[in-house]
Chain A
Amino acid sequence: MKIVVCIKQVPESTEVQVDPKTNALIREGVKSIVNPVDENAIEAALQLREAHGGKVTAISMGPPQAEEALRQALAMGADEAILLVDNAFRGSDTLATSYTLAAAVRKIGEVDLILCGKQAIDGDTGQVGPGLAERLGMPQVTFAIELEAEDGKLRARRVLDDFFEVLEVKLPAVVTVVKQVNDPRHPGMKNVLKAKRAEVAKWGLDELGAEAKQAGFDGSPTQVIRVWPPEKRSEGKRIEGSAEEVVEELAKVLGEVG
């Protein structure tokens, strides 16, 4: 199986500050990590490779420092890594991101499966995976919690709000996974050191043969008008005690609230 995993480098904290002028996240001084659920996507890819053989390619679109995220994928066991880096990609929204990633997948060529995390902890849109499937004209399965491949098909269990859904799709397909799909492995130190020395390929607009007007700012119709942290909710009241006591206290509190 030839598997491509799309990963994103994100700030470690979920409490990042937003620059009120530019509406962009302030990344200075915040450690960067691989988007946590993307590690699950990498793990899922590695497990499929271990079961069926093949090759895992990790790709990421981002600034030069996103190379670190790809090295993490290599340390975990990905066979190769490609960074999609170009000034022309700056300011990409999810439409432009999926455009660029799709161009990279086409350039990679023969691919059986594309795996993504269900969403990133910074933007939280969850649109890139589905967008990528649309761009590539492939079937998509989102929120996968179980994956099983056989005979050019993939069977996936999706986790939805109130129920599971089992889908079977023909490969190639795009699948986004949830956190519960697996426990990402901790890389061994030999792999960590090997990954530090490994080559990370860098592809820009020209290498992808992509159109500038579909990438970056120009390819991004989304305009962020304003970003602000949610108002902090006041602390809830916790009622403890035996069932009777709790019920009595709750009735009293509700009565007071009216």
Chain B
Amino acid sequence: MDFTFNEDQTAVLEAVKGFCDEELAPKAQETDEAGAWPAENVRKLAELDLMGIPVPEEYGGLGMDFLTWSAVGEELSRACTTTGAVFGAHLLAVAPIMMFGTEEQRQQLLRPLATGEKIGAFALTEPGAGSDAAAVATKAVLDGDSYVLNGTKIFISNGGEAEIYVIITSTDPTRGARGMTAFVVEKGTPGFEFGKDEKKMGFASLPNRELIFTDCRVPKENVLGRRNAGFLVAMRTLGVGRIGMATGAVGLARAALEAAVPYSHQRHQFGKPISSFQAIQFMVADMATEVDCARLLTWRAAWMKDQNMPFEKEAAMAKLYASEVAMRATTKAVQIFGGYGYTREFPVERYMREAKLFEIVEGTSEVQRGLIANQVLRELNH
């Protein structure tokens, strides 16, 4: 395992850092407070060729690896959590089409996603199907050459703004997980509408919307993967998505650390900067160590994916640990800022609200622990 970046990766990361520092970070607070889709930032991600980092060049991507995707995603999230979240949610449409798309689907769908001409989203969650992913009730019924979709998805990141949606449906309810099918549905398809946009504790500018399907007719060619193999599409996508969530959490935790340290030097109490007090130093030490650990777990999972090794357990570990690190690091950052940390004058209270999302989304911490335990208990059962 070698995390030394080659020349291409270094050049890309350097260019991305410049963009993040000059364009994203100065407007991050504003971007959140606007409570509106960050259209300009998203357009810039496309202009900078960042929407298709792991997509092969022949489909309009950069043809780089997931490790690079993760390193870039961390920078974006560090500078602007909202933009990082859009970037992460977009991957959830890119990845399954990359993994399961036919040549035609890749040409038609992957290309506009990779160039950022179109934004993607992934929809699994329903009112009755969250941690229990196999309980999907959105039905897809074959009728001639097309399927008819009925049902409702909720909390869908990039919902309403995205053009291309990967939808997990139930095609054979009697077979549970083995009766699910993934579809690609484009915005504007008759019978496909958007409902409620959730008002959330954080990430006010990231849409989490309801998708409503009412007799929505979708051609058979839009099945992604095989019929009744949708659970596999969902699980593989979530596997990659966990690396994505871990990436966002690392970026957020780092933002908290990078806000807290300069403040601890500036803030004087008892005639000294508070950074001279051991209580603060120990918090900084824990934050820095945990951010590093979280990043290493995330990069390992991304690297394993790049090596075509099974990475589900490692991705779950990275997602679990990074999201809990984000929660701890942002809480400590608020503590270091003291009373000011509780005000909206500084970004750390927002970071703390945002961190909570990572412990819930894309499989709660409990689901990750279950997944990890399952595998460890099996592996070590001699």
Chain B binds chain A: yes
Decide if A205 is an interface residue (CB 8 Å cutoff).
no
Q: Indicate whether A186 sits within 8 Å of B19 (C-beta atoms), given known contacts A193-B62, A196-B7.
A: yes
Choose from B12, B22, B23 the contact partner of A192 (Cβ within 8 Å).
B12
Task: For B50, give the chain A residue with the smallest CB separation.
Answer: A189
| Cβ B23 vs Cβ A196 within 8 A | no
Question: Chain A contacts of B19 at CB under 8 A?
Answer: 186
State the Cβ distance, A72 to closest chain B Cβ, in Å. Answer: 9
| Cβ B15 vs Cβ A75 within 8 A | yes
| Cβ B49 vs Cβ A186 within 8 A | no
Question: Chain A contacts of B12 at CB under 8 A?
Answer: 189, 192-193
Question: Chain B contacts of A192 at CB under 8 A?
Answer: 11-12, 15
| Cβ B15 vs Cβ A190 within 8 A | no
State the Cβ distance, A208 to closest chain B Cβ, in Å. Answer: 30
State A196–B62 Cα separation when bound (angstroms): 14
Decide if A53 is an interface residue (CB 8 Å cutoff).
no
State A190–B23 Cα separation when bound (angstroms): 19
Q: Indicate whether A196 sits within 8 Å of B11 (C-beta atoms), given known contacts A188-B48, A189-B50, A190-B62.
A: yes
Decide if B18 is an interface residue (CB 8 Å cutoff).
yes
Question: Chain B contacts of A187 at CB under 8 A?
Answer: 15, 48
| Cβ B47 vs Cβ A188 within 8 A | yes
Question: Chain A contacts of B104 at CB under 8 A?
Answer: none
State the Cβ distance, B256 to closest chain A Cβ, in Å. Answer: 26
Q: Indicate whether A189 sits within 8 Å of B22 (C-beta atoms), given known contacts A75-B15, A196-B7, A196-B8.
A: no
State the Cβ distance, B19 to closest chain A Cβ, in Å. Answer: 4
Choose from B7, B23, B49 the contact partner of A189 (Cβ within 8 Å).
B49
Task: For A71, give the chain B residue with the smallest CB separation.
Answer: B11
Number of interface residues of B (CB under 8 A): 17
Within 8 A of B (CB), among A166-199: 186-193, 196
State the Cβ distance, A76 to closest chain B Cβ, in Å. Answer: 10
Question: Chain B contacts of A196 at CB under 8 A?
Answer: 7-8, 11
| Cβ A186 vs Cβ B15 within 8 A | yes
Task: For B68, give the chain A residue with the smallest CB separation.
Answer: A189
Within 8 A of A (CB), among B90-114: none
Number of contact residues on A: which range applies? 10 to 19
State the Cβ distance, A15 to closest chain B Cβ, in Å. Answer: 17
Interface string of B291-332 (1 = CB under 8 A from A): 000000000000000000000000000000000000000000
State A148–B7 Cα separation when bound (angstroms): 38
Task: For A191, give the chain B residue with the smallest CB separation.
Answer: B49
Interface string of B200-217 (1 = CB under 8 A from A): 000000000000000000
Question: Chain A contacts of B50 at CB under 8 A?
Answer: 189
Q: Indicate whether A188 sits within 8 Å of B49 (C-beta atoms), given known contacts A75-B15, A193-B62.
A: yes
| Cβ A186 vs Cβ B62 within 8 A | no
State the Cβ distance, A192 to closest chain B Cβ, in Å. Answer: 5
State the Cβ distance, B173 to closest chain A Cβ, in Å. Answer: 44
Task: For A190, give the chain B residue with the smallest CB separation.
Answer: B49
| Cβ B22 vs Cβ A193 within 8 A | no
| Cβ B11 vs Cβ A193 within 8 A | yes
State A75–B18 Cα separation when bound (angstroms): 13
| Cβ B48 vs Cβ A186 within 8 A | yes
| Cβ A193 vs Cβ B48 within 8 A | no
State A142–B22 Cα separation when bound (angstroms): 27
Within 8 A of A (CB), among B16-53: 16, 18-19, 22-23, 44, 47-50, 53
State the Cβ distance, B143 to closest chain A Cβ, in Å. Answer: 43
Interface string of B36-79 (1 = CB under 8 A from A): 00000000100111100100000000100000000000000000
Question: Chain B contacts of A191 at CB under 8 A?
Answer: 49
Q: Indicate whether A189 sits within 8 Å of B62 (C-beta atoms), given known contacts A196-B7, A196-B11.
A: yes
State the Cβ distance, A258 to closest chain B Cβ, in Å. Answer: 32
State A105–B381 Cα separation when bound (angstroms): 74
Question: Chain B contacts of A193 at CB under 8 A?
Answer: 8, 11-12, 62
Q: List 27 A-B contacts (CB under 8 A).
A: A186-B15, A186-B18, A186-B19, A186-B23, A186-B48, A187-B48, A188-B47, A188-B48, A188-B49, A189-B12, A189-B15, A189-B16, A189-B49, A189-B50, A189-B53, A189-B62, A190-B49, A191-B49, A192-B11, A192-B15, A193-B8, A193-B11, A193-B12, A193-B62, A196-B7, A196-B8, A196-B11
Nearest 3 pairs between A and B by C-beta? A189-B49, A188-B49, A186-B19
19 further contact pairs, Cβ within 8 A, besides A186-B22, A187-B15, A189-B62? A186-B18, A186-B19, A186-B23, A186-B48, A187-B48, A188-B47, A188-B49, A189-B16, A189-B48, A189-B50, A189-B53, A190-B49, A191-B49, A192-B12, A192-B15, A193-B8, A193-B12, A196-B8, A196-B11
- Using a CB–CB distance below 8 Å, which chain B residues touch chain A? 7-8, 11-12, 15-16, 18-19, 22-23, 44, 47-50, 53, 62
